[in-house]
Amino acid sequence: MAVDVQVVLETFDPALFLPALAAPDKDSVLQELVAHVQARGLVRDAVPLLEMLRSRESLGSTGIGHGVAVPHGRSLAVPRLVAGFARHASGVAWGAVDGKPVKLIFLILAPPLEQPTRYLPFLGRIVEAVSDADRRKRLSKVTTYEEFRGALRDALA
């Protein structure tokens, strides 16, 4: 099932746009992301969510190379498909496929069951969107949510 560009854009929550992450390591980044998800009121209990993201990293790094990581997974704690974007100016070690530090982070969370099922196609759209160097460069310069939306819209087009 294809996911419409508009659906992708609307799933990215403005409260989960974090253009200046400075956490020193991968686990601290995950903790910070989850804290924002909870502060946004999207989950009641952040503990299982953080544990799920850590487990996903145990399964294999979500760093897909070129400075991009897409931490993702399903948790019962999440009521609906949720997405956030964070930027780490200096880059953080993520155990990525190419060993490079990660500067662009896309957080994607989904409940165990969704109707309609958008999680995997959504993940695919994001990976596709950051496959091009120019698109990544533009995303790495955004400072506002609106700029991010514009850059992502063009990357998804």
Partner 1 sequence: MPSREARGAREGVKPTAADAARRSAAARDVLTALVKLQDLDLMIREATDPHQADAVSKMGFKTEGVGLLHAARQALAAEVEPRLLRIYDAAARRYGGRALVPVTNRTCLGCSAVLPTGLIPDPKRITSCQSCGRILYPL
State in angstroms the smallest separation of the CB of 62 from partner 1. 6
Q: Helix or strand or coil: residue 21?
A: strand
88 is catalytic: no
Q: Is 2 in the site for partner 1 (CB under 8 A)?
A: no
CA–CA dist 126, 141 (Å, integer): 17
Site for partner 1 in 105-124 (CB under 8 A): 111-113, 120, 123-124
Instruction: Give the residue among 59, 58, 12, 54 at the shortest CA–CA distance from 36.
Output: 12
Q: Provide CB contacts within 8 A for 85, sequence distance 6+.
A: 12, 16, 17, 18, 104, 105, 106, 107, 139, 148, 152
Q: Which is nearer to partner 1, 111 or 150 (CB)?
A: 111
Choice between 65 and 150, CB closer to partner 1: 65
CB of 20 to partner 1, least distance (A): 26
What angle is formed at CA 22 by the lines to CA 18 and CA 26, rounded to 5 degrees?
A: 95
In the shown chain, the binding pattern of residues 56 to 95 toward partner 1, with x for contact by CB under 8 A and - for none, equals x-xxxxx-xx----x--xxxxx-x----------------
Q: Which residues are catalytic?
A: 72
